[in-house]
Amino acid sequence: MPYVCSDCPRECGAIRNEYSGEGFCGAGERIAVAKVMRHMWEEPVLTSGRGTENIFIYGCNLGCVYCQNYKINGSSGRPDTSKISFLTPEEFGALLVERSETDADTVGIVTGDHYIRQIAEAITPEIKARVKKPLVFNMSGYSKSEAIALLKGKIDIFMPDLKYVSEELAKEYSSAPDYPSRAKETIQKCFEMTGPAVLDENTNLMKSGVIVRHLILPGSFPNTAGVIDYINETFRPGDIVFSLMSQYTPVTAVPGVMAHPKLSRRISAAEHKKAVEYLSACENITYCFCQERSSSGEDFIPDFD
Ligand code: SF4
């Protein structure tokens, strides 16, 4: 049934029909799945080498101008519907079960902030019981607490981004000046629902908890430092896992990025070193990962064709 959506902070009040909607994200009722693939490069607490079975969701409610997954973020106008599967909650639940029966270490949903209501409906107690692997929910962080609450007991590991603490950057790059406050609320709500991180003492694989990711952007060290400060000042040692990502790649197919004075280059070695050193000095961030700077490049972006 079509419904009027105010599920995320955009609060469009837009009608969502079966396959598409009139809101910022363009999402309809059915969950649009762009790709299902084994991903080998998630954080080491999510894989022992067998990877994560990732279900990539089409579209986004944030729409960052530099999006690394621009082919599936919905920014390219009308999607090629022949390449998208529009699933009912029942079908999506069955897909989760099917992917959990592979030999992957974890099952991931990437990035589904604009489908939280439908994903919550998909993960019934029966489906949850049949998904034998930790279920990871990768998020942009631009969500509402009341929506996230629908996922209580259904997701094992929440993986929200904290992209910006700067309202100016959030406005310029994602048209969402309230992103910093919303993302902080998202992270705290996820932590309230999972509690501190739990890792298997034999494998070091994560069983439950929150992983906060931050992508270092070129020319934006004060923002990265502010993100690290927020995590360091908000959580106690061992509470959450923090992942500092350096894979930012200017996507050549997006003209606005290639012409942008800051976004048209990768981060420099000096920027990478400065961020890693800043993080290393934080006493309360004890579970953390830092990507090598060499992890950037379009080769590291999954091929969504
Ligand atoms: S989920 Fe989509 S339609 Fe709903 S409020 Fe957010 S951007 Fe608008």
CATH code of the domain containing 31: 3.20.20.70
Report the pLDDT value the prediction gives residue 304, as an integer from 0 to 100. 41
Range of the domain at 64: 3-300
Whether residue 43 is contained in a domain is answered as yes
Average pLDDT across each block of 10 residues of the chain; the chain has 305 residues. List them in order: 94 95 95 94 92 95 89 68 91 98 97 97 98 97 98 98 98 97 98 97 96 97 98 97 94 82 94 96 95 67 50
Phi, psi at residue 238, to the nearest 5°? 85, -5
Report the pLDDT value the prediction gives residue 297, as an integer from 0 to 100. 57
Q: How many CB atoms lie within 10 A of CB 17?
A: 15
Whether residue 85 is contained in a domain is answered as yes
- Residue 114 Cα: closest atom of ligand 1: 1
> From the centroid of its chain, how far is CA 304?
17
Domain count, the chain: 1
Ligand 1: distance of its center to the CA of 57 in Å?
14
Whether residue 305 is contained in a domain is answered as no
Q: Are strands 287-290 and 241-245 parallel, antiparallel or unpaired?
A: parallel
Whether residue 114 is contained in a domain is answered as yes
Ligand 1: distance of its center to the CA of 152 in Å?
21
Whether residue 209 is contained in a domain is answered as yes
Ligand 1: distance of its center to the CA of 5 in Å?
6
Whether residue 88 is contained in a domain is answered as yes
